[in-house]
Structure 1
Amino acid sequence: VLVNPATVLAQAWASMVDRHGRIRVPALRPAQVPADVRDVLAGLPVGGAPDDPTLDPDWGEPGLTPIERLVAWNTLEILAMESGSPARPINAIPSSAVMHAQLRFVVGTPWRDLASIVRAHLDAEGLQQVEVEVVASAAASRTPVSDPWVDWAAQSMARSTGKSIAILPNLAGTLPNDVFSDILGLPTLWVPHSYPACAQHAPNEHLLVDVAREGLQIMGGLFWDLGNTDTAPWPTRA
């Protein structure tokens, strides 16, 4: 009787994430969505464009809206996994199984302790034979929604474009923003210039002329307003 590594690894993953994609490890879950974050996200749509994938309403943390699940909560996902030879399976128990997973997380998650948290969880589940290795990591960051620079920037952009401005408390991607927010202690604002069908990171990644024009309009207005000491919330020197 031989242990099947693929079965063991599947059990390990099922102990960490349930069948609806909900994280089951308490230390890897945010305590809650802050009230101010929930307020700015209220009503913001996710998807709906012709080329967007269909959303799965029952996937992820229950009780959250799609935008809250995307921007304000942690997710634990499988990126790739393999055991044996899927392209040419043979009639034998595989000798090993490997999985590459990813934790997408918000501010407050103990990401530096990820390996030890997962190790302790698997040990408690009796899965000591599963090896854990963190191969890459980066900090999450979030400028408080209440920071005066947030409202200042939103008002500047609204004046420049004549449009309502959507505020995301943080991005859902991986960016080295902690260099500015944590190391330098600066409030940071990201102003994307794109649209949903830009095919980002794909062979046909592109930028529309009108989007580029609006981006110049927005940034020109922001830099102009930075020079207005009556409205820009520059800190007062002692």
Structure 2
Amino acid sequence: MDLLGKARAHVDSGALFTELARLVAYPTVSDAPEGRAAVQAYLDEVLTPALTGLGCEVTQHANPDPAGGPFLVGVRTEGEDLPTLLCYGHADVVGEAGQWRDGLDPWTLTADGDRWYGRGTADNKGQHLINLTALRLVLAARGKLGFNLKFLFETGEEIGSPGLTEFAAQEKDLLSADVLIASDGPRLDAATPTLFLGARGGIRITLDADLRPDAAHSGNWGGILRNPATTLAAAIASLVDGHGRVQVPELLPPALPDSVRTALADVVVDADEGWGDQNLTPAERLYGWNTLEVLALGAGDPARPVNAIPGRARAVLQLRYVAGTDVGGVAPAIRKHLAAQGFPMVDVRADATFLASRTPVGDPWVTWAREALSAVTDKPVALLPNFGGGLPNHVFTDVLGLATLWLPHSYPGCLQHAPDEHLLAPVAREGLVLATALFDALSSTPPTPRR
């Protein structure tokens, strides 16, 4: 049986399901104290043996940020003249918020048709297990990898990757490589093999119209007291209109690069009719542009309204932005704009939650990867300059100076942060084939010498 046939057989035999069931059973929730023991056990009992089995020397490192958990690094060196691959995954999962449907337990892998239910199946245990398995298959077939391997696992991605940037900066030599190949996030859709090159960033924007300590009777004061809720609603509408179009040029990137437009030309994305900038395609709006979304909005008590003008109204917005956006100018631009619109009483606070970054579409590693993947599938491989969500991609591009190739093994409907998270068996099967093919190609036809 050839190498890719072995990859298919590994899924068809039930072996991948059995391995994943063991991984899911560890409740590695990073935002809960009780999850810390499970995280440590997962590193010691699952990931360390997996990396040791690949011939890696494994080391565990304390996090420079006390808010984060430890890092695990595995290193296998085969030759100084060979390319070095860095892989990445995260051991932690989100906590439980909401009820899973009858018959499902988040810590027990359950198959229902093509869906494998369990917390972490899609984000990220199933995905890093597929890559570990692909590396294992290549090593078994060749007796060597044909490249040097480094594998980094963090334990706090679901709480914003505290300490990861600092750790990478401190350990540049340990993590030095030619390329990152990792798996997280979703494909374009369940049927389309996808390669994405980075991630949008996020800035959380808090707007606060705190006008007085108490509410005021709407009959006695209506028409003479400024209503903070009305003020805030109008202020938001001046930033992003009722059809999702950003109204402040400083909140947008300078332009959509031709390389990004070309890469997205054949990408089809469903979108609500009339929503967003109609000068851009849905794919360009999602993967190549900035959006401003209202996450939360409140004044008074909607469940039990009283006849009173509230004293305060607050909203939380999020700017999802692509590389090239002037992040430092966001808050000043909003303040200036709101003052010009007559809303200087609205306080503005902006906090970056994660940074945008992407590898250039024309990078030789991108061309190599797309060709290697296309050679083993009869489907077009979607190339996304970045995916719509956030990942710590900037750590690898900006701190370590790597080309980044993300090969996701999940799909948009996987419910990764919600009840009933699942991995699709056909996507896992195809993902194992694609990852095995990509690692096998690296062992024989790397695109460039060491960078």
Same fold (TM over 0.5): yes
Structure 1: gaps of 5 or more residues: 48-54
Max Rg structure: 2
Aligned counterparts of 1:157 and 1:89: Cα–Cα separation in 2: 58
Is 2:252 the partner of 1:38?
A: no
Aligned counterparts of 1:197 and 1:220: Cα–Cα separation in 2: 24
1:161-210 CA-to-partner distances (Å, cap 9, x unmatched) read 33221100101101111000111111101111023432232211111222
What pairs with 1:30-109 in structure 2 (closer than 5 Å)? Answer: 30-47=253-270, 55-109=271-325
1:40-98 CA-to-partner distances (Å, cap 9, x unmatched) read 11121113xxxxxxx32211112111111111111111011000100000001001000
1:122-159 CA-to-partner distances (Å, cap 9, x unmatched) read 22223111011124422101111111111111111112
What pairs with 1:8-23 in structure 2 (closer than 5 Å)? Answer: 8-23=231-246
The Cα shift of 1:216 comes to 1.3
Q: Percent identity?
A: 54
Aligned counterparts of 1:75 and 1:196: Cα–Cα separation in 2: 19
The 3-state SS of whatever aligns with 2:306 is coil
Is 2:396 the partner of 1:173?
A: no
Q: Which has the higher strand share?
A: 2
Aligned counterparts of 2:293 and 2:413: Cα–Cα separation in 1: 24
One-letter amino acid of the counterpart of residue 338, structure 2: L
The 8 Å contact of residues 161 and 217 in structure 1, kept in 2 or not, is answered as no
1:29 to 236, 244, 252: 252
Segment of structure 1 superposing worse, 179-188 or 193-202: 193-202
Partner of 2:430: 214
The 8 Å contact of residues 294 and 315 in structure 2, kept in 1 or not, is answered as yes
Partner of 1:235: 449
Aligned counterparts of 2:237 and 2:434: Cα–Cα separation in 1: 46
Segment of structure 1 superposing worse, 106-115 or 139-148: 106-115
The Cα shift of 1:110 comes to 1.1
Aligned counterparts of 2:337 and 2:246: Cα–Cα separation in 1: 12
Is 2:338 the partner of 1:122?
A: yes
Partner of 1:52: none
The Cα shift of 1:160 comes to 2.5
Partner of 1:2: 225
Give aligned pairs, total.
228
Aligned counterparts of 2:414 and 2:252: Cα–Cα separation in 1: 32
One-letter amino acid of the counterpart of residue 99, structure 1: A
The Cα shift of 1:32 comes to 2.1
The Cα shift of 1:236 comes to 5.1
The 8 Å contact of residues 290 and 321 in structure 2, kept in 1 or not, is answered as yes
Partner of 1:51: none
Aligned counterparts of 1:14 and 1:46: Cα–Cα separation in 2: 26
Aligned counterparts of 1:60 and 1:208: Cα–Cα separation in 2: 31
The 3-state SS of whatever aligns with 1:32 is coil
One-letter amino acid of the counterpart of residue 402, structure 2: L
The 8 Å contact of residues 250 and 329 in structure 2, kept in 1 or not, is answered as no
Structure 2: gaps of 5 or more residues: 1-223
The 8 Å contact of residues 143 and 169 in structure 1, kept in 2 or not, is answered as yes
One-letter amino acid of the counterpart of residue 208, structure 1: L
The 8 Å contact of residues 396 and 404 in structure 2, kept in 1 or not, is answered as yes
